[in-house]
Amino acid sequence: MKKTTLITFLIVLSQLSVFSQATFKETIKNYEDICFCNYELAHPVEILYLDNNLELLFAMKEGKTINQLKKSGFKFTKSQINLLKYSKLIEKKDSLYQSIVPILSEDETQKLREETMVMSKEILPLLQDDYTKLCQLLKSKDLENNIFAIFFAYLLDGLVWDLLKEQNLIHDHVTTKDKPFWNGTFWLMEPKRSFSCGTNSIETDKYSINVNWSHNSKIKVSSYKKLKQLVNDYSENGKVTRIDIISEFKKYGICDKNGILLIPIIENNKTDDIYAQSVFIAEKVFNYLKNHINYSSILTETPGLTQGQKITILYHEIMWDILDTMEEKGLIQKPVAFKDPEKAKDMDLSHLIFIIKK
C-alpha cells in the first residue's frame, strides 16, 4: 500500500503555489473511506465524490473560512458548501467551516492499528476452541465453503454489533428528520489495508439477506434490487417462483432451477445450532470490547468523538486484525473470490451470501 503524508495547506500565498490541486488529489486518494451507517437520500461517499467535495472536506479538517478556502485556490459553489453542511459532513462554527468526519493521518492510523493488533491477539484465544466447534458444525451441514462469510459477516460483523446496540454502547443508525441523508459513523484513514471486507444487508419484515464483499473480489451481486425480490419471493412462497429471478441467480449457485435456495438460512434463535454457537462466540468478543478497553486513551488525537464512535472505528480494525491473525495461524482461509479473484467463478458468489430469519 502507498504511504503518504497529508499535505497541510498554508495560508501564506507564496507558499501555497508549491502545492498544486493535482498533488492534493493524489494525496487524499490514498485514504480509505469506511462507513458504518444506514442511508436514505445519499451515502456520504456519493456526496464526497461529487465535484471536488472530498478535497474541500480535507481542506476543512482544521477549520477554514470561506475566504481562506478561496485564497487556497479552491473553486466551489455555495450549494456545495450547503450540501456538505446539510448532509452532516461539515459544520459551521462562527465563521469557520470544519469537517466533522474523523480523518486519521498515517501516524494516527499506525498507532491505532498497533493497539488493535494487540487486542485481537488477546481476543483470539478466548474464542479459538469455540470457533473450531463452529467450523465442525458447518462442515457437518456441508457448509465448509461458507465458513469465512458466516464467521465474519454473520458473527463478527453482525451479532457483535447487535450486542453493542442492545447494550447501548453504540446507537442505532436510523435516518431521521435531522439526518435524512445518512446516519452512523463515517471516517477516513490512511494507509488502506491490503485486505478488508464488509457486509451488505437487505432487510425485509421476516428475513435479511447478507452479502460478504471485498474490493478485492471481481464477483459481485449484479442487482441488489433483484436480490431483494428473491428474498420477498422466498418469504411469500417458501422458494423462488419468479422465472426471471431464478434465471438471474441460479448461475451463481444461490438457487437451483426449481427455485430452491442453496445458500445458508440461519434462524436467529437458540433452536438453530449455528446461531447458538455463533452468539456464544460473539458474546466473548462483546465482553472484551465492553470490559477490557480504556476508551479514554483511544483516538485521543481525534477530538470530539463519542465513545460509540470510538468503539465503531476501533472494532472495525479489530475485526480485520482477527481475520489476519487467524489466517496467519491457518485457522481460516479467504474464499476464492477474495483470495484469488482471477480464478473465481460465478458459483463462488454463493459462498459469500446467507439469509437470516429474524
Is residue 65 a contact partner of residue 152, using CB atoms and an 8 Å limit?
no
Q: Is the pLDDT of residue 5 over 50?
A: no
Can you give the pLDDT at residue 290? 98
Q: Please tell me the distance from the alpha carbon of residue 29 to that of residue 31, in angstroms, as a whole number.
A: 5
- Judge whether residue 10 has pLDDT over 50: no
Q: What is the C-alpha to C-alpha distance for residues 204 and 208, in angstroms, rounded to an integer?
A: 6
Tell me the pLDDT tens digit for each residue of 195-236. 999 999 999 999 999 999 999 999 999 999 999 999 999 999
pLDDT of residue 3: 36
- What is the reported pLDDT for 24? 55
The four Cα atoms 152, 155, 158, 160 give a dihedral, to 10 degrees, of -120
Q: What is the CA radius of gyration of the chain?
A: 22
**Domain locations in the chain?**
19-103, 106-177+197-357
pLDDT in tens, 280-324: 999 999 999 999 999 999 999 998 899 999 999 999 999 999 999
Of 6, 107, 88, which is closest to residue 42 (Cα–Cα)? 88
Lowest pLDDT segment from 15-19, 103-107, 308-312: 15-19
Close Cβ partners of 230 (under 8 Å, ≥ 6 residues apart): 209, 240, 245, 248, 249, 254, 255
28: confidence class by pLDDT, cuts 50, 70, 90: confident
Mean pLDDT of the chain: 92
Residues in the chain, overall count? 358
Ramachandran angles phi, psi of 183, nearest 5°: -150, 135
Burial-class residue 42 by CB neighbours within 10 Å (0-12, 13-18, 19+): middle
The arithmetic mean of pLDDT across residues 168-182, rounded, is: 93
Backbone region of residue 168 per phi and psi (left: phi > 0; alpha: psi in -120 to 50; beta: other values)? left
Cα 180 from Cα 183, distance rounded (Å): 8
**How many other β-carbons are positioned within 10 Å of the β-carbon of residue 107?**
12
Q: In 153-184, which positions are buried (b, 16+ CB within 10 angstroms) versus exposed (e)? A: bbbbbbbbbebbeeeebbeebebeeebebbbb
Percent of the chain exceeding pLDDT 90 equals: 89
CA-nearest of 29, 30, 33, 28 to 1 is 30
Question: What percent of the chain is predicted at pLDDT more than 70?
Answer: 92
User: Side-chain half-sphere of 307: how many Cα atoms within 13 Å?
Assistant: 12
pLDDT of residue 8: 33
User: What is the spatial distance between Cα 314 and Cα 295, in angstroms, rounded to a whole number?
Assistant: 9
Report, as an integer, the average pLDDT of 144-163.
98
The predicted pLDDT at position 9 comes to 33
Q: What residue type is 107 in one-letter code?
A: D
Amino acid of residue 208: S
Query: Are 308 and 315 spatial neighbours (Cβ–Cβ below 8 Å)?
Result: no
pLDDT for 30 equals: 86
Average pLDDT estimate for 253-262: 98
**Angle, in degrees to the nearest 10, between helices 106-140 and 273-291:** 150
> Residue 15: is its pLDDT beyond 80?
no
